[in-house]
A and B are shown apart, each in its own frame.
Chain A
Amino acid sequence: EAGVAQSPRYKIIEKRQSVAFWCNPISGHATLYWYQQILGQGPKLLIQFQNNGVVDDSQLPKDRFSAERLKGVDSTLKIQPAKLEDSAVYLCASSLVRGTGELFFGEGSRLTVL
């Protein structure tokens, strides 16, 4: 079974530039999450989708971050304009709607903002 796919693995940009991350969840997983993991911290939920609807985006800085999951499968997370404090690993995860709530994570996209 293929896992959660994310790209790019690494991205370096200057502040005020824009960046986009892509995620393809495990087939059949209706719920998709984007987490931000700053160095030395635990993952912080940015946004959670169920199919193509948003369940929770209370922690998403909406003035600069946006995310979409148009067909209920792939998702993109965009940052525009980036700030220095956005340097982090952006983790995508997916899960089944029911069950133990286990999250399956991708390897993450590491963003460095200079």
Chain B
Amino acid sequence: GEDVEQSLFLSVREGDSSVINCTYTDSSSTYLYWYKQEPGAGLQLLTYIFSNMDMKQDQRLTVLLNKKDKHLSLRIADTQTGDSAIYFCAERGGFKTIFGAGTRLFVKA
């Protein structure tokens, strides 16, 4: 079945760039997403990329998609303490959205 994998933890210093990686198995994915979850809250969409794109940039966020390797990454430039949260990679093929286990980002001041 479909699966989404990502590393569980990432720690960076404030002002550095953060790169969160994800691999997925469903080659028919049409959209790939990054959601952010802050403590005690539901998930909120951060950004998404359509499967026929290689890259998408949105202010401090850069999403890279390598469809051949089924690899997705999220780069956050100039990481701030407010970026500390759990980041979920997700893919959608058909009607279903499958989530990874989430990467907890720690930002040290």
Contacts and interface: CB of A to CB of B under 8 A. Distances in A.
Contact of B31 (A56, A101, A106): A101
Nearest to B31: A101
Interface of B: 4, 30-31, 33, 35, 40-45, 48, 88, 92, 95-102
A108 interface: yes
Interface residues of A, number: 22
29 contacts: A42-B4, A42-B88, A42-B99, A42-B102, A43-B43, A43-B88, A45-B96, A45-B98, A48-B95, A48-B96, A55-B95, A56-B95, A56-B96, A91-B42, A100-B31, A101-B30, A101-B31, A101-B33, A101-B48, A101-B92, A102-B33, A102-B48, A103-B35, A103-B45, A103-B97, A105-B44, A107-B40, A107-B41, A108-B42
Contacts of A33: 97
Nearest to A31: B95
Nearest to B101: A42
Contacts of A102: 33, 45, 48
User: Which of A4, A33, A101, A107 has most B Cβ within 10 Å?
Assistant: A101
A101 B97 contact: yes
User: Which of B43, B88, B101, B102 has most A Cβ within 10 Å?
Assistant: B43
Contact of A91 (B43, B92, B96): B43
A100 B100 contact: no
A40 B96 CA distance: 21
Contacts of A48: 95-96
Given A91-B42, A102-B48, A41 B95 contact: no
B43 A105 contact: yes
A35 to B, nearest CB: 8
B106 to A, nearest CB: 15
A108 B92 CA distance: 22
Interface string A59-96: 00000000000000000000000000000000101000
B97 A45 contact: yes
Contacts of A42: 4, 88, 99-102
